[in-house]
Every structure is written in structure tokens, then in C-alpha cells.
Amino acid sequence: MVFQLFKRQKQRSPEKQLLPTELEKFRIRYRGQGLYDDVAVDTAVQEISKTLRTDGSYASDSIANGGWSVPDAASMIISEYASAGIRTGEMHIYRGVMNDHGKAHLKLFKVCTAKLMASGKLTQQEAVEAVRELEDEIAAIG
């Protein structure tokens, strides 16, 4: 039993180590834009980090096998989290009108989409289409 205490822990892949660090860097850089924006990015990074600790295969697949850089993967994952939160309809006051949390998530989505466009992962047309598609869903959900 004593020898099991000194058993070597399974080493995490570099992707699984770098992505949480990059998420934290993103959070620190993004903060300071307002209360709801801070809450949105804090929640996103906490939930994504928790998910990565339990299942980091997505990080490995997108970074190691998919050719994504770590900052691009972080932006993509945060944008997906923000859009998924908006699409639930829980951030709407009524049809087409979001509360402050919803507006903060939409802003977070737009910032991440802009970062992906700046890095070349999305074309301008794809980025505009993604934002327009989400805004159309916002108008219909509520």
C-alpha cells in the first residue's frame, strides 16, 4: 500500500497542459470590460477547464491532429461555449431580446470570431456568416 503513494502519475499530453494555460491568458486579457463581460469569460473558462480535466481528447484532436494553434483552439472553444449558452434561450428576456448576460456572451462570441479571422482560421465571409447566423437565432429564440 505504501508503494502506491509513490506511483508515477500519468503524464498529460502537452496539448492538455497548454490549452488551460491559454484559456487563463485569454481570461486575464479579456477582463476589465464590464461586470457581465467578466462574468461571461470567467464562467466560460471555468467550465471549459473543468471539461478539459475530465476529457481532454478534444484538445488533443484539434491541436495535435487538426493543425490548430493553442490560442486559436482556445478562441474556438470559447466561441462555441458562448454560442451554445446563447442558443439555450436562457439569456433572453423575451423573443429576440437578451439580458445583460446574453449580451456579454454575444460580445465574447464576436471577439473570439474576430480572433479566429485575424489568425486566418476563418475568412471574413465565414466570420460574418457565423455572427449573422447567431444573431438570426437570437431573433427567433426566446
pLDDT digits (tens, 9 = 90+) for 103-135: 999 999 999 999 999 999 999 999 999 999 999
pLDDT score, position 15: 64
Quick check: 71 and 59 in contact, CB under 8 A?
no
Task: Measure the CA–CA gap between 38 and 32, rounded to whole angstroms.
Answer: 7
Residue 78 has pLDDT above 60, yes or no: yes
Residue 64 belongs to some domain of the structure: yes
Residue 1 has pLDDT above 80, yes or no: no
pLDDT score, position 55: 79
Residue 122 belongs to some domain of the structure: yes
Gyration radius from the chain CA atoms: 17
Nearest 10 degrees: CA dihedral of 77, 83, 87, 89? 110
User: Could you tell me the residue range of the domain that residue 110 belongs to?
Assistant: 14-140
Q: Structurally, how many domains does the chain consist of?
A: 1
